[in-house]
Homo-oligomer: A and B are copies of this chain.
């Protein structure tokens, strides 16, 4: 990997693909973005050289990456989890799907790990967005003046227990806990949709917390949890008192803006020590 090669950015939704591209460019590196049709936002892609392709067009994606001299690639930005039926793979995509196998579609990590493996086989190195956006990785500790009280700490501990159990079966990254009660649990609807639901499920009394963690065993080169100003605003609307994320494993969609949004909404924002949340590299879940 020489600096002469471009960074290939496979872009899903939201602002992060643009932030990765800007950070790589600021470091003097050429970039090429492949925006997934229906997910990548045109305004995010516009400032950079890019093409828009269908998710299933694997052959076209590989051709574009080679044509633009990309050796390292980053997968960043949410993509709605495709069913094997709506991928509409091209010829290369069909070949790759056969290699991946249907089993990979059973869990998020299975599929992402398979995608990372396929790119590796094709001669590309997949790196994590957090390796480019080092400034955007959420640090450990409380980032707001407001700190979690005893009830909030207890809710965070309960949330960590629940999200780890979920992660152990490769489902979701987040839950909302209020006064010890698990109000909602994330599957594929995403954190914002889960927060929208939390508002209608809340109990009287002190508000709950959002807990969002990296899955045990998750490959950090794909789909790291993301928190941004919109997350904090949605948490406030849901009546929560704060957000707990995993330090070193969460990407802020704009660090200063995310912390500022927490302060404006009167929420605490805390980065949890990833220590007790193990990430075995052998693929075994604890």
A180 to B197, CA, bound (A): 24
Partner of A201, one of B175, B188, B204: B188
CB distance from A174 to the nearest CB of B (A): 11
Q: Does A191 contact B (CB under 8 A)?
A: no
Q: What are the residues of chain B within 8 A of A86 when measuring CB–CB?
A: 203-205
The quantity of this chain's copies bound in the complex is 2
Asked if B185 contacts A181 (CB within 8 A), the reply is no
Partner of A83, one of B85, B168, B178, B182: B178
Q: What are the residues of chain B within 8 A of A188 when measuring CB–CB?
A: 181-184, 201
Q: How big is the A interface, by class?
A: 35 or more
Q: What are the residues of chain B within 8 A of A166 when measuring CB–CB?
A: 165-166, 185
The residues in A between 184 and 222 inclusive whose CB is less than 8 angstroms from any CB of B are 184-189, 197, 201, 203-205
Interface residues of A (CB under 8 A from B): 81-86, 102, 105-107, 158, 161-162, 165-166, 168-169, 171-172, 175, 178-189, 197, 201, 203-205
| Contacts A/B (CB < 8 Å), 10 sampled | A83-B179, A83-B181, A83-B205, A161-B169, A181-B188, A183-B188, A184-B187, A184-B188, A185-B185, A197-B197
